[in-house]
Amino acid sequence: MIKEFFQSLEDPNIPLFGPNYWLLSKLGLLLPKNRMERILKIIIHELAFCFVISQYIELYIIRSDMDLVSTNLRISMLSIVVTFKANTFLFWQEDWRQIIDYITEADKFERDNQDEAKGNVINTYTKYCRRVTYFYWVLAFFTSCTVIIAPLMKYCTSEKFREGFHNGTEQFPHILSSWVPFDKEYSPGCWFTVIWHILITYYGGSVAAAYDTSIMVILVYFGGKMNLLRIRCREMLGTEGKGVSDVNADKVVRQLHQIHVLLLKHSRLFNSVLSPVMFCYVVMCSLMICASAFQLTSATSTLQKLLMAEYLIFGVAQLFLFCWHSNDVIYKSEAVMMGPYESDWWAANLKQRNNILIIQGQLQIVHIYTAGPFTDLTLATFINILKGAYSYYTLMRK
């Protein structure tokens, strides 16, 4: 049944981005054309933003209790990133549509003009995109479930907490920490709050899954496009050492130039909409990982530790996948310039060799994705953030 569901997400008109496009549309990140539906989707996203504000109101109220503060920070740091992702996606809606349209059309062009070497690259990055997308969706779903059942597990596994709850010394174990304009410790307010928190948790997990996997697929495609461009450069003067005519050589060089210009244009557009989000994420990530690690070591039961560990793994996995795929594009953009050297340049005449030098110089431009104006999305950044999180953790422990 699961396999059939995943197959139903495939769209022949969007061969690479089909499942991601489906989820973005369902969540309203890609707004529908109908006016009323658009307004409804926007209201849902802004309700989530209001919830984040209520989390920080609650954080101010409980500021004297370090355990409650760490619990709030663990979720509220991720919440603000999720709402920032959703709202920036809505704000730069046309830019995102332009990027998605580009990778869809460029991918279909490659599929329609593939040979054996290009077909292997296309099949490889398509399969990889499906695997990383579905793996991340499952991870986000189980993380949402972990957040929801964590208070219940605390109640079931801690006899001391159960006794305190029944005699009134312990408060109702809410899923999230947020302020509400009514008494949330007693019925019916407590149960209304539980339902509200469940809906918000699954909203946040779904938005994270849709946004993050879309980013990863786009980065994987840019890396795959680099490999395809390198193959095209390798084959631009033929493959048998006999050379090609000046007319054919000029035609191929113009095509390579156009492909690279479009790739560079949309890569920079992609970085312009991604960079502010990654800056927010990098700033918040150290605190989020630190708070999760602090709660993990403070948990008393084995089950609670497992639940906190799963949440911590999700936070680290998010950051790692962004930095890994961004770093991979940097590596491939540096390697693509080797394509002209791998061609049959030695069989070309002087005019063709001059064209090769021009295209080779153009290919030296490296595609780098940033987190704001301060850092690049690389594996070195990932390691530095983990170091920063560990430093904050040691301070909290003391």
Identify the pLDDT of residue 23: 93
Let me know: does 299 contact 146? Beta carbons within 8 Å: no
Beta bridge partners of 375: 371
R_g over Cα of the chain: 25
Residue 224 three-state SS: helix
Give the closest residue to 6 by CA, choosing from 131, 158, 114.
Answer: 131
User: How many angstroms separate the Cα of 337 from the Cα of each of 26, 217, 358, 365?
Assistant: 40, 23, 11, 9
If one counts the domains in the chain, the total is 1
What percentage of residues in the chain have a pLDDT greater than 70?
A: 91
pLDDT in tens, 307-360: 677 677 777 888 888 888 899 998 888 888 888 888 777 777 778 778 788 888
User: Domain limits at 248?
Assistant: 2-397
Give the separation between CA 270 and CA 15, rounded to whole angstroms. Answer: 20
pLDDT in tens, 111-165: 988 888 888 999 999 999 999 999 999 888 888 888 888 777 777 777 777 777 7
Give the separation between CA 132 and CA 216, rounded to whole angstroms. Answer: 8
